[in-house]
Amino acid sequence: MISFTIDLRLEKKLKDISELLSRKRVELEHLSADCQETIHRYARISIIGASTRIENAVLTNTEIDWMDAALGEDSRLCSFEKHKRYIEDKLSKDKERSIEEVAGLRSVLTLIYEQANDLLPLKETDVRGLHKELLQYHPPASHYLGQYKVAPNSVVERVDNKVTREIFKTADPGPATSAAMKDLFDWYNQTLPNSLWSLPVIAEFVYRFLAIHPFQDGNGRLGRALFLLGMLQTPDKNLNFVAPYLAVDRQIEKARAEYYIVLRQCSGGIFRQNPKQYHIEFFLNFMLKMLEKSLNQDIDYYSKKYANYLQLASNPKKVLQCFREHPETRLQSGQISELINIPRRTVTRALQELAKIGFLQQLGKGPDTRYQLIF
């Protein structure tokens, strides 16, 4: 019931992904609960960072990791408002919009990870609610939270907050958007549980959502979050199990230019009421490539990082924690020595060890050498 044909080449890719998912599930099941939780947290922070930066936010994963720890488990609006000034003072007030976007997507992902099964069948009110979560911390959006657009919008590619080009025109506001969204949810709820392959259904759902672009703002971030939601709602047990440990958005960020090219290729530059007039197989092929890279790279990278951390001695761990508490700063050995009250020579040895195993990046040489945390 998808709107395009799965040819032999795509079918082979789907089978290959299915086998890879099965192997990764076995690998994850053999890891400790602490390691699994660490990989999940790395993936979640990576998604938040990548998806917001695709839309030209500026926070690094290191800054988001610190911000996430500062906010704790409470994602309510009042909690963010209580911590907002402290976060802005730490990360710089000129990053206010980025901080708001990060906080919003963090809240959306929290709901998706915790309540994916409760959101099936998926309703329009559910996605409207996710949109409210996404933009709840951005005051200019208060009058259109969870409301479909009232003015035309487009999918655009931005660089340094400047519109560089229009990718494609989206559905007209009003009846066209409302009707297209109703059709989309009816189709998704009927198709996902009854399809041989889940990923083509999820890819079509997300692409059609992006083509409609139902909200005035936040559609890109929300669309990528819906891809995660689809993976968590799928009847494919291996995909469902592995999804919380994947950072597909991290791979999309690396292939950002290709991402926009593919979005345009599928549509020819315009919204189409009949989804069969799209070439959604291009988007599926792209997302399969991103998923494969995430499966092959992210889980191994994060599990290795966790294992390396466990092997660190006390002083390197203290130095590492110092960087985590100062995500906005590139630190020198002398600064670290003063901050954590450890001899400078000991700090230098710890810095060299941490750089060697990939926790830190060294910048410069000699007395001006600085280090920054690699997330």
Place of tokens 């996430």: 68
Asked which of 282, 308, 334 is the last residue of a domain, the reply is 308
Residue segments in the chain with a per-residue pLDDT below the cut of 70: 74-77, 160-163
Helix (H) or strand (E) holding 306: helix 299-310
**Residue 148 structural domain:** 8-308
Q: Are 154 and 170 in contact (CB under 8 A)?
A: yes
Q: Same structural domain for residues 299 and 281?
A: yes
Residue-wise pLDDT tens digits, 142-186: 999 999 999 999 998 877 666 678 888 999 999 999 999 999 999
Q: Clarify whether residues 67 and 113 are in a common domain.
A: yes
pLDDT, position 79? 75
318 alpha-carbon distance from chain centroid: 29
| Token pair for 184 | 């989309």
Residues 356 and 264 in one domain: no
Measured CA to CA, the distance from residue 16 to residue 269 in angstroms comes to: 31
Residue 76: predicted pLDDT: 63
pTM: 0.95
Give the whole-angstrom CA distance, residue 195 versus residue 268: 27
131 and 153 fall within a common domain: yes
What DSSP string runs through 212-279? H--BSS-HHHHHHHHHHHHHHH-S-HHHHHHGGG--HHHHHHHTHHHHHHHHHHHHTTS--SSGGGS-
State whether 214 and 258 are in the same domain: yes
- Domain finish residue from 278, 308, 338: 308
Determine the pLDDT at residue 215: 98
Same domain, yes or no: 85 and 231:
yes
Q: Domain with 347 in it: what CATH number?
A: 1.10.10.10
Q: Is residue 65 part of a domain?
A: yes
Domain co-membership, 361 together with 274: no
Q: In the chain, how many domains are there? A: 2
Residue 256 and residue 366 share a domain: no
| 281 in the same domain as 218 | yes
Which residue type is seen at 260?
A: Y
State the CATH number of the domain containing residue 23. 1.10.3290.10
